[in-house]
Amino acid sequence: MRHIISILLENEAGALSRVAGLFSARGYNIESLTVAPTEDSTLSRMTIVTAGSDDVIEQIVKQLNKLVDVVKLQELTEGAHIERELMLAKVKATGDAREEIKRLVDIFRGRIIDVTDSTYTLELTGTVEKLDAFVKALDMTEIIEVIRSGVTGIARGERALSA
């Protein structure tokens, strides 16, 4: 089962490697990991997408809580939540494809953020499924490169993760 774990941790050198090291040392899998400081510069917020049985996820949560740098964590997938991922894509845009790509970007509510005679650079945010669908729909043209940020997320409603 796919799980999203959101972690509030001390914004200190080495905190990221403690988390990453824990996953590799104990053989847990990481699908994606994002991290950046929060509005409080002493804290970072990390979002990890992982997969495993309930027992494995329980161990992951306990082991993460055990790290001295981890202030709090929340399993987003336990409740209603919103998840988003940012994608930037550079695609070949020549001839008829130029117009078609623009229409497609509009349909997916993305944006064209850079243009040359032969390329478009696109920006799109959404769930993993939406981004996957967009990449699939781009089959009329050649993809030069795709960068995805990995998933971040937040709980719906009153539920929040703060120090």
Q: Indicate the SS3 state at residue 18.
A: helix
Kindly write out the interface string for residues 64-83 of this chain, putting x where it contacts other proteins by CB under 8 A and - elsewhere: -xx-xxxx------------
Q: Which of 122, 130, 126, 134 is nearest to 153 (CA)?
A: 126
Question: Is residue 40 at the binding interface for other proteins, with CB under 8 A as the rule?
Answer: no
As a whole number of angstroms, the distance between CA 15 and CA 38 comes to 14
Choose between 133 and 163: whose C-beta lies nearer to other proteins.
163
Q: Does 39 bind other proteins (CB under 8 A)?
A: no
Nearest distance in Å: CB 77, other proteins: 20
User: Cβ of residue 50: shortest distance to other proteins, in angstroms?
Assistant: 16
Nearer to other proteins, 1 or 115 (CB): 1
Alpha helix ranges (H) inside 26-152: 54-66, 96-107, 128-137
Q: Any contact of residue 34 with other proteins (CB under 8 A)?
A: no
Instruction: Scan for tokens 């993460």, then name that residue.
Output: 64
To other proteins, the closest distance from the beta carbon of 56 in angstroms equals 11
> Directed axis angle between helix 15-25 and helix 54-66, to 10°?
150
Does 118 help bind other proteins (rule: CB under 8 A)? no
Among 59, 121, 125, 127, binds other proteins (CB under 8 A): 59
**Comparing C-alpha atoms, which of 125, 129, 122, 128 is closest to residue 146?**
122
Q: Establish if 58 lies at the interface with other proteins (CB under 8 A).
A: yes
Cα separation, 95 vs 41, whole angstroms: 48
> CB count, 10 Å around CB of 90?
17
According to the binding rule CB under 8 A, does residue 38 interact with other proteins?
A: no
Binding site for other proteins (CB under 8 A): 9-10, 13-14, 17-18, 21, 25, 55, 58-59, 62-63, 65-66, 68-71, 163
